[in-house]
Structure 1
């Protein structure tokens, strides 16, 4: 039996994972900003679940949630940072407050919760931290610059974190879902078309999302079962795309990045100290001219 703490438990992927965890006989601290939507879990699972109000951007509330897990279950085996959201709008039309709120929730919320559980897992010398990123954490998501900025941050933070946690027996896994049939693309999202000059990106994204909603290929219940399996692995993956669309998009983007690295390789490596007789400036000029010449060739 494992002891879990899940953020964003009231809906979407967080709710699906919470249900799967309890169905599997584990213990859970379920959290949400509005806990009224979690009352049925207590009715159904009784002492196996504890409920607490949590704003992931509040370090005091994060500590309280971890303390509840310790008081109730005398330990914590799995943290799932599921809480998050992403609005649609151009960079120009997204005000700084909205940018900050999305980054606070998606990135700093993850950092705050992670830091809250590390002392417990360090003392145990065991545990698993599961971070929700997104395909938008690997590929710039159209119309979601703030969301992508946060999720790319989650990726870098978690990759560095994994190296530290390996020293104390704690696993880290970054989940990268594609489209799933949750309300992420519905009521959870504010969509602002803004300046029509950006319609080919922003307007197209909004129209596509409205058409896509309720038709996404991803099944939250199946994803929850995969996450349960990952949580029990001795050597879990660092990154795990979820869904055929995620695998396809990430693989294509990674191949394109490798091609770009090779295309501009000569221009990149000219920044090293030269091994020959040319000065750094002369070497850079030659390499830059060669690279530009090749790039202009049909």
Structure 2
């Protein structure tokens, strides 16, 4: 079976996806922000799950997470599940960390990024974005538009990797709150299926999914000029370029 890495998996959707994938026989590598949060995974560790730790808001920690994952071996799939809803850490956690982990971890066969239906209210404007998180400069909706655009960029430039974005819905997790109206189980099924299923329907790329159905994302996420500018800013901020062949970039031949 597959070896799958899931960020932000000590609770909520990440943990629920992990439970389903573990029951299906997959080997899992899970992530917690610190050793205290990792204690919540002790029951899964007893079932053979490996755990890496690090704060996704800190660039040095993100690099260390990538080193920990690579030392375990190549992943077959990665679910970039972790996220925050507000605060100065919003861009570092929701956008910079997935970018850096994607650049530094050995390339898997499948990549899944957690988006949100709220990305449709985001602005395709990178002006003034503080990727360091020193200041809160963008909204949650903006961050989810950015990560969805990143997903579509990878689908375009890494066609050999099945890369998809998932809107899990508004579900009653710690992040979503008790008043969330969507079904909690529906919230993790799509990303677990895309990461671990042998179903030919899961072997697709460039999709934006909600509850097992593809939808159309915000048109800006498909704009190649916007995608390229986003990736250029992230590469400049982190000092780590994505390994993209030049002939796969817009305007190159």
Q: TM-score, normalised by structure 2?
A: 0.68
Q: Tell me the equivalent position of 2:112.
A: 130
Q: Tell me the equivalent position of 2:96.
A: 108
Write out aligned runs for 1:1-298 (5 A). 1-39=1-39, 41-46=41-46, 48-72=48-72, 74-87=73-86, 98=87, 100-117=88-105, 120-121=106-107, 126-140=108-122, 146-166=139-159, 169-186=160-177, 213-219=178-184, 221-231=185-195, 232=197, 233-236=202-205, 238-242=207-211
The answer as to whether partners of 2:190 and 2:211 remain within 8 angstroms in 1 is no
Superposed CA deviations along residues 88-125 of structure 1, whole A, max 9, x for unmatched, are xxxxxxxxxx4x421121111221122122xx22xxxx
Larger radius of gyration: 1
Number of aligned residues: 201
Where in structure 1 are there 5+ consecutive unaligned residues? 88-97, 187-212, 255-298
The answer as to whether partners of 2:151 and 2:206 remain within 8 angstroms in 1 is no
The answer as to whether partners of 1:22 and 1:45 remain within 8 angstroms in 2 is no
**Pairwise CA distance, 1:40:** 5.1
The answer as to whether partners of 1:31 and 1:53 remain within 8 angstroms in 2 is yes
- SS of 2:171's partner is coil
Q: Cα gap change, 1:69/1:56 in structure 2, threshold over 3 Å: closer, same or farther? A: same
Q: Cα gap change, 1:224/1:215 in structure 2, threshold over 3 Å: closer, same or farther? A: closer
Where in structure 2 are there 5+ consecutive unaligned residues? 124-136, 220-253
RMSD, matched Cα: 2.9
The answer as to whether partners of 2:170 and 2:181 remain within 8 angstroms in 1 is yes
Q: Cα gap change, 1:10/1:43 in structure 2, threshold over 3 Å: closer, same or farther? A: closer
